Amino acid sequence: MLYCMKAVWKGYLGFGLVNIPVALYSAIDKQKLSFNLLHAEDKGHIKYKRFCETCGNEINWDKIVKGLEIGKNEYYVISKNELEKFKPEGSKLIEIQEFIKDNEIDPIYHDKSYFIGPTPGGIRPYFLFKATLEKTRKSAIGKFVMRKNEYISEIRPYKKGLLLITLNYAHEVRDIERVPKLDEHPKLKQKEEELAIQLIEKFTSKSFEISKYKDTFTEEIKEAIREEVKGEFITMKGKEIQETENLMEALKASLD
């Protein structure tokens, strides 16, 4: 039996004079290994201490303030109360700013994904909104506040419901022009391109099934730990990678 997800945010999806009661649910459940830092000799937990690099003393939390660097070795100290004044007030509204074509946003701007679900009183307008986006092939751009942080987001139809994707701001995305050696584009040989196309066609799937891909590193670590606990030691070896020296020969060998 499927369990119901717990909402991380509840409020309204609003555009014009229409406010649709909705809830947000985390769409991604990261399952990474989490390690504790321990003392090798007695397995005691490692704790960090806060030292002042000027006086060398250990500092308690009640003596620590936040400072914004405004010049070399110059800081403006801001109090917790002052900082709270600048944080956006909690809002219960995802406010639609505009509508765009459903494929207009470059994926590099995508950040975190949330399912949008209807809540009591909002079933009919929720599905009307979803159907309208589907028929017009549009996405909505909305602003909202969650946990005292303001987000810009894309809202789009997804399977049975709606998906909200928080977006990176333009100034947060780094310029690809800063990547070295991109201007050293060599003249490609026609035969190389033909062989490369054949190789791509050889490995092209009829449809993409992401479920066949697993986090093998995490699974191997867990299995190694289980075997180690049982008294058996497992060594994991990675594949040896050789640099391609002759591109044409490598392409031909890959096709064979």
- Global pTM value: 0.74
**Whole-number Å distance between alpha carbons of 255 and 104:** 36
More confidently predicted of 123 and 251: 123
Task: Choose among 6, 18, 202: nearest CA to 95.
Answer: 18
**Whole-number Å distance between alpha carbons of 152 and 156:** 13
Strands, E assignment, 3-146: 9-15, 18-26, 66-71, 74-78, 93-101, 110-118, 138-146
196-209 pLDDT tens trace: 899 889 888 888 88
Q: Is the pLDDT of residue 177 over 80?
A: yes
Q: What are the residue ranges spanned by the domains of the chain?
A: 9-30+88-171, 190-255
Q: Is the pLDDT of residue 158 over 90?
A: yes
228-239 pLDDT tens trace: 666 655 454 555
Q: Is the pLDDT of residue 116 over 50?
A: yes
Predicted local confidence at residue 234, as pLDDT = 47
- What band does 76 get if pLDDT is binned at 50, 70 and 90? confident
Say whether 170 sits in a helix, a strand or coil.
Answer: helix
- What band does 11 get if pLDDT is binned at 50, 70 and 90? very high
CATH tag, 9-30+88-171:
2.40.290.10
Residue 138, Cβ neighbours under 10 Å: how many?
Answer: 17
